[in-house]
Structure 1
Amino acid sequence: MGAVLGLCSAAQLACCCGSAACSLCCSACPSCANSTSTRLMYTLMLLLTMVVACVTLAPGLHDQMKKVPFCANSTALVPSNFKVDCDQAVGYLAVYRICFATCLFFCLMALIMIGVRSSKDPRAGIQNGFWGIKYLVVIGGIIGAFFIPEGSFAATWMVFGMIGGFCFIVIQLILIIDFAHSWAERWVSNYEETQSKGWYSALLLAMLSCYALTLTGIVLLYIFYTKPDGCDLSKFFISFNLILVVIASAISILPSVQEHQPRSGLLQSAVVSLYVMYLTWSALANSAGECNASFTGDKQSSFDKQSSIGLVIWVFSVIYSSIRTASSCSKITMSEHILAKEGSGGYDSIEGDGGEAGRDETKVFDNEGDDVAYSWTFFHVVFALATLYIMMTLTNWYNPSSQLSKENAASMWIKITSSWLCVGLYVWTLIAPAVLPDRDFS
């Protein structure tokens, strides 16, 4: 029994403080590739950061902080020289500080991993192990961020947040388009192989549901975000995006497109159309007060409906990028740098007797011995941008030091531009094989 506990403790110590892979921590973990387990661990780190940031926005937390003895606004009997301003530990400014430290961590990891070609590089241990030390670094960075003088910190960091958040929206568009193509290709393939009416009905139902939700969203946008006399910009955004999704849907079923991509169809167009309508709604939620159904003129709550949906889509995108392997449509959407390549590298056992034989017995096997399955540097850049996006989403895309109003022209234009980019990227995935016949998109 003691030997078993000793072996378990040694494995956990190797995982937390050494370069061993994370699947050594628990014998109950399923066998998986080293590239997958590493990305899942970074995803867990990012999700925990999001949870902590959300906690700082919890209603009533500001009042509860007054009961903490060392807070400056507390009535507890603590020497004045030990008291701090706990107001900075809650609210939007706290979200900025938490995400600032987390973003710097991923930027540092991106710099360290520049030029890594395989897991044989000495820096691979830093990428795949030392998880306990990494979490301590992030926690220490977050604590240190709360000592940054407020000054112009929020206003300056907001500019970085706007730019980084927009960049992640573009990456999120690529992931959603890749998901739409993969989903449709899988179900069409199942239908072609089985000739089952069940798969055909599922395809039809999913497509009609997405289009029905899109149409419902358009109607609601006209009702709540426009007026008969005025709100011309809002009317333009809704109408223009409606025209774009109709054009994209028509292109997806053109004979020339079907010739090069026989599995392309209206299901992908329906998913993209629904996401474009969400982006339109999100943009209009930051429009001028007289045309904004969510604007009341009073102090806004920490979360609203469009922010909550944005968080759900963000979580889906991050998890999807961690467990998804690149497909043929990834070559069109340029997402092979985000998603792991299928069959990449050699398989070397990390635990077991090694090689292909050890792969069946080991908890984690190294699939990057010959070549990395994804760009490690770009992966950390994406997660740094994801941190900035979640920061801007939780703070409703405005400076926490400003008046808490839903009106934000910069955020509105970022989101509406993103919706146009989404349609443009999707249309490119449809016409690229026909426009560039010399390139292999198979």
Structure 2
Amino acid sequence: MGMGMSCIAPLVGSCCATMACQACQCCAVGIANVSARVAYCTLFLLSMVLSWILRDYAEPMMKKIPWVVRQAGSYEISSDVWYGQQAVYRVAFGNFLFFAALSIALMGVKERADPRDKLHHGAWHLKFMAWILFIIVPFFLPNGLMELFAWFARFGSGFFLIIQLVILLDFAATWNESWASKESEKWLYALLAVTVACYTGSITLIGLLYHWYRPHSDCSLNIFLITFTLLGCFGFSVLSVHPAIKGGSLMPSAVITAYCVYLCYSALSSEPASYACNGLSEHTATVTQSALTLGMLTTLLSVVYSALRAGSNASFFTVVDDAPTGTLLSAPAVDDSDDEVRPC
């Protein structure tokens, strides 16, 4: 009897272990199927954190790589700047290749019945390994190719800022509509408070920018950038309440004004410490780090918002003007009914 039980026990244990593994696998597949957009955003977050670490803290580690040490000699700048810039370029290039390859492979996929949909919602272990490979490969590419990509990225970043503004405007318009539609005066007072706070903060920061980045009258470029930002924000704020603008509101304009003033601050804070017009040269490291942190958070939030709100809506960036009120973009709530967990 004892021998029989000793033979059966391992079999039962093996069956239980197999069933547990299958259950975990089913749960993992189910989570990946439902949360594909969240998973892609997670890869984007990992890329941002990796770029930040490699740029600011990985110099000793990278100096131990012989290829990196040899290539650094081709630059007439300090090794710290070289490692930081090149690390960010190469991580960004790897992500560009990874997501471009996925975009090409999934081009034309509109329904879950398409066999290629499995590549989008599944195979995450393979995609994660491919992502790591795409991140590593650019570190073995020549500097010249990275310089070309850097110029491409400069233009692409400008386009991304425009997209980011559109996403922020849609968020602010949705926020404004949600609070304005509530049948209570307290929500209208809350909207007024947010609007006043955004404009007050923006005007205060504009004044500080004139003080910090215009130490003397020869700083014409800084004066132009700050003044252009001020006039631009004033212009679209006036337009937002013009009778000719359907569904115009001052609150979304206040949010966009605050963001534009922040962008101006971020650009000016990136000026070299040796630049005569940088009034915060003694605090460049702290200022740059704060601008970087805010920029990373803003970028991450905009990407997550756009992915969750428009990840399965092809008309997200379609402007609509057929209603007197409402959001700027035709973006109804994402329908996740097709993202059900498939049986294992």
TM-score (norm. length: structure 2)? 0.77
- In the other structure, the counterpart of 1:416 is none
Structure 2 residue aligned with 1:173, among 152, 155, 165? Answer: 165
Q: Does 1:154 align with 2:146?
A: yes
The CA RMSD measured in Å over matched residues stands at 3.6
| Structure 1 residue 86: Cα displacement | 6.6
What are the within-5 Å matches in structure 2 for residues 342-357 of structure 1? 342=333, 347=338, 349-351=340-342
Equivalent residues of 1:43, 1:318 under 8 A apart:
yes
1:315 to 289, 292, 300: 300
How many pairs does the alignment contain?
312
Q: Which residue of 2 aligns with 1:53?
A: 51
Deviation, structure 1 residue 85 = 4.6
Question: What whole-Å deviation, never above 9, does each CA across 1:107-127 have from its counterpart, x for those lacking one?
Answer: 001111111121111110001
Q: Which moved more, 1:342-351 or 1:102-111?
A: 342-351
Distance 1:113 1:205 in 2: 45
The answer for the alignment partner of 1:235 in structure 2 is: 223
One-letter amino acid of the counterpart of residue 231, structure 2: I
Higher helix share: 2
Contact residue 207 and residue 267 of structure 1 kept, 8 A: yes
After TM superposition, the structure 1 = structure 2 runs for residues 364-379 of structure 1, keeping only pairs within 5 Å, are none
1:332 positional shift: 2.2
Q: State the shift of 1:281 in Å.
A: 1.7
Residues 362-387 of structure 1, C-alpha deviations (whole Å, 9 max, x = no match): xxxxxxxxxxxxxxxxxxxxxxxxxx
Q: Deviations over 1:108-151 (max 9, x none)?
A: 0111111112111111000111111111011122222222233x
Counting aligned pairs with the same residue, the percent is: 29
Give 1:332's aligned residue: 319
- Which secondary structure does the structure 2 equivalent of 1:121 belong to? coil
1:396-415 mapped onto 2 (5 Å cutoff)? none
- Correspondence for 1:293 among 254, 260, 279: 279
Indicate conservation of the 8 Å contact 1:184/1:268, yes or no. Answer: yes
Cα offset for 1:213? 0.7
Are residue 9 (structure 1) and residue 21 (structure 2) matched?
yes
Residue pair 2:164, 2:302 contacting (<8 A) in 1 also:
yes
Counterpart of 2:121, as a letter, is N
Residue matched to 1:111: 104
2:126 to 117, 133, 146: 133
Mapped partners of 2:237, 2:161: distance in 1 = 22
Query: Do residues 271 (structure 1) and 255 (structure 2) align?
Result: yes
Whether 2:195 is the aligned partner of 1:207: answer yes
- Over 3 Å counting, the alpha-carbon distance change for 1:4 and 1:250 in structure 2 is farther
Relative to structure 1, the CA distance from residue 229 to residue 116 in structure 2 (aligned partners, 3 Å threshold; closer, same or farther) is: same
Conservation of the 8 A alpha-carbon contact between 2:202 and 2:257: yes
Instruction: Assess if the C-alpha contact under 8 Å between 1:181 and 1:268 holds in 2.
Output: yes
Contact 1:21 1:38 in 2 (8 A): no
- Give the AA of the match of 1:313: T
1:2–1:272 CA distance, 2 compared to 1 (3 A) = farther
How much has 1:331 moved relative to structure 2?
Answer: 3.8
Give per-residue Cα distances to partners, 1:79-123, cap 9 Å, x unaligned: xxxx66579895331222222112100000111111112111111
1:143 equivalent among 130, 136, 152: 136
Within the alignment, does 1:253 sit opposite 2:241 as a pair?
yes
Which has the greater radius of gyration? 2
- How many angstroms does 1:184 deviate by? 0.7
Please tell me whether residue 188 in structure 1 is matched to residue 180 in structure 2: yes
Is the 1:245–1:273 Cα contact (8 Å) retained in structure 2? yes
Give the superposition deviation at 1:303.
4.8
Uncovered stretches (5+) of structure 1, i.e. residues with no partner: 25-33, 73-82, 354-442
Query: Using a 3 Å threshold, how does the CA distance of structure 1 residues 287 and 347 change in structure 2: closer, same or farther?
Result: closer
| Aligned counterpart in structure 1 of residue 59 of structure 2, from 48, 58, 62 | 62
Give the superposition deviation at 1:188: 0.8
Identify unmatched segments of 5+ residues in structure 2. 1-12, 73-81, 322-326
